[in-house]
Structure 1
Amino acid sequence: MGVSLKDVAQLAGVSVKTVSNVVNNFPHITPATRARVQRAIDDLGYRPNMTARHLRKGRTGIIALAVPELGNPYFAEVAGAVIDAAARHEHTVLLDHTAGLRENEVLVSQGFRSHVIDGLLLSPIELESEDLLARPAGPPMVLLGEREYDAPYDHIAIDNVAAARAAVRHLLALGRRRIAFIGARRESARQPAHQRLRGWREEITASGAVPQESLVVATDGYGRRDGASAMAALLDRGERPDALFAYNDTVAIGAMRLLAERGLRVPEDVAVVGFDDIEESRYGAVSLTTVAPDKAAIAALAVECLVERIAAPASAEPPAPRRIHPGYELVVRESTGNLPVRHRRGRGA
């Protein structure tokens, strides 16, 4: 049998109600009483029954996190941070994998598993604004990721244009002038790849140069193979860059492998910057300079927004949708020829 509130109350010499007030951090408990109850809790090893607590409020204590690809290191790291953040709010996380397919994202956003969750964190790739506007009433939802939407939901995303400009500014400061961009997409301009490409263009233009569109390569995906294939295509058509800004770290790592196979050195021949600061970027034969989104802040802000909306009374006027920009850093490593250093950027909403 587990330890009950009654057991704690008997040991502390107080009422069950007093123990409940201490456990729920209610005010108006004297410090001496609170300390006596806490000692009893510690001595008995009491743990609140979170399931019962949530059920009394008509909730399950479960939130869902839906991401495009759990095998992608960035999403795996964000998922871990979300689980940690949710635990601090006494919630369990149900993970869902959409494969980045619109039909799956629509299914998840419009109520799939809504009977078992209190709220949804969704990181979409192909979902459109009209899909979100057509969403029926259901559990609260918060959006993650850099794709832009005109929809009434909280959205947690770093400023992709500013982050991309910081990456390209670093390469320009090194004297690089033929800076390629790998990872462009052919779809909607709301995609994060287009925002990062926009940052590439804006920073090169601001330097007084003309962006060389022949150095832009679109990819079908964002994995290592895509990066290697894109770099091979660039070199095969005679477009030798002296620097590369890749859509993400896995694309950059694939491109770096191809450069090595072609006898080109990083950073001596081609300096490389990625995006995401996945763990792998720190431990390659040549460590990767990268834009590092604050994943812990992204997770914490997303969970806080969702928990706030879950807890809001149905009769209350909900807060206006928020667009929150967590911070990021440019982490300089060996792939651009410098000793490790961090340049902070982009904090705030």
Structure 2
Amino acid sequence: MVEGHRSPPTMSDVAAVAGVSKKTVSNVLAGYEHVSARTHDRVMAAVEQLGYELNVSARNFRSGRSRVLGLALPELRQAYFAELADAVIRAAGALGYTVLVEQTASGEREPDAITRMREHSIDGIIYSPLAVRPGDAPALDVKFPLVVLGEPVEDSDATFITMSNADAFRDATEHLVRAGRSSIAFVGADPDGPVRTAEERLRGYRSALDAHDLPFRPELVVSTPLWHRADGAEAATRLLAGGRAVDAVVCCNDALALGAMSALQLAGRSVPGDVAVVGFDDIEESAYSTPALTTVSADLDRVAATAVDMLVGQLERGEAAVAGVVRSPHRLVVRASSVDGARTD
């Protein structure tokens, strides 16, 4: 050893300074609850005195856990998923976990991401897909902690966290009806057939029309390949080009709504004067658009915290996985895009 160079202190060094066994030091550093306050303080004082640094990697290897959670989502360029990732990372960090993010919208089957992520050293996965289809059930029935953010599928015992999409979309549509709108377009139907989230939101839309004796007009249901701004703008342009009388548009997410609102304004339609617009998700940008966008909020922070806590509960507290659905509350955030003079957030 070069003169003047000291090797890093070891757990044995801490034990010697504290006057306890190496096992006691290990118990203190692992957070073992049956250690007296006096012993705990002596060990921690020795740790500070020596500048001892716990080898977290070695501890995790011995415990069989990495303290890393996986988050599989379609894409980060969509504001909703970026904000979801931020919320999950903050919730996990507060509990001492790191998050590995995987983007799934790559042309492969989305559920395959679950298998790919398990190739890494992760303890559990939060899976937020574009759509969960009935054929995905086998991929969701895994032997490790998994929470799915989305509508449940039959024949799956996975844990699903979702809001009541039908109720939320009914509230959004009824808000427009109460504001005096009667020719309300629905933007975001799936062109390839029913997908649970879009299907549930369409069901809520139809329910609101039925409750107010308004006819359901299939020509006002506009499908989009994706839920991006460009798709919303194209959908609004199609509505106008078709000569359809529309005085409101309710969209399956905020990106569609922001795109639709832009296209309407470029075409000379005032919002909300000529056409009211409502979105879904309450992304940060929705409060700062012109006009500010009325939208449905699911409280992403609450959803993220619930998902992380459910995983950590299985990993650290021995809790059983919750098979079935956990419903997250929603609320309608009314802004200026749907009501003249509405208060903005």
Match of 2:269 among 261, 264, 270: 264
Contact 2:132 2:195 (8 Å CA) reproduced? no
Could you tell me the TM-score, scaled by structure 1's length?
Answer: 0.84
Contact 1:154 1:305 (8 Å CA) reproduced? no
Q: 2:4 aligns to what?
A: none
For the residues of structure 1 that align with 2:52 and 2:171, how far apart are their CA atoms? 50
Q: CA deviation at 1:148?
A: 4.0
* 1:129 matches 2:131: no
Q: Equivalences for 1:1-349 in 2 at 5 Å?
A: 16-31=22-37, 34=40, 48-99=54-105, 101=107, 103-111=108-116, 113-133=118-138, 138-146=143-151, 148-311=153-316, 318-337=320-339, 338-340=342-344
For the residues of structure 2 that align with 1:286 and 1:175, how far apart are their CA atoms? 19
Count of residues in correspondence between the two structures: 337
Q: CA deviation at 1:166?
A: 1.5
Identity of aligned residues (%): 42
Q: CA deviation at 1:178?
A: 1.5
Kindly provide the CA deviation profile for residues 27-82 of structure 1, in whole angstroms up to 9, marking residues without a partner as x: 34444555565666678776644322221112332222111112111011111111
Distance 1:252 1:153, change over 3 A: same
For the residues of structure 2 that align with 1:296 and 1:19, how far apart are their CA atoms? 37
Distance 1:297 1:50, change over 3 A: farther
Distance 1:237 1:45, change over 3 A: farther
Q: 2:3 aligns to what?
A: none
SS in 2 for 1:291: strand
Q: CA deviation at 1:336?
A: 1.8
Contact 1:147 1:192 (8 Å CA) reproduced? no
For the residues of structure 2 that align with 1:28 and 1:104, how far apart are their CA atoms? 48
Q: CA deviation at 1:324?
A: 0.9
SS in 2 for 1:263: coil
Kindly provide the CA deviation profile for residues 282-313 of structure 1, in whole angstroms up to 9, marking residues without a partner as x: 21221111111111121111122223334577
For the residues of structure 2 that align with 1:235 and 1:7, how far apart are their CA atoms? 77
Contact 1:125 1:191 (8 Å CA) reproduced? no
SS in 1 for 2:126: strand
For the residues of structure 2 that align with 1:178 and 1:37, how far apart are their CA atoms? 71
Contact 1:64 1:117 (8 Å CA) reproduced? yes
For the residues of structure 2 that align with 1:270 and 1:222, how far apart are their CA atoms? 20
SS in 2 for 1:110: helix
Could you tell me the TM-score, scaled by structure 2's length?
Answer: 0.85
SS in 2 for 1:275: coil
Name the larger-Rg structure: 2
For the residues of structure 2 that align with 1:283 and 1:167, how far apart are their CA atoms? 19
Q: CA deviation at 1:184?
A: 1.0
What 5-or-longer segments of structure 1 have no aligned partner?
342-349
Contact 2:67 2:123 (8 Å CA) reproduced? yes
Contact 1:111 1:138 (8 Å CA) reproduced? no
SS in 2 for 1:198: helix
For the residues of structure 2 that align with 1:326 and 1:126, how far apart are their CA atoms? 18
What is the root-mean-square deviation of aligned Cα atoms in Å?
2.9
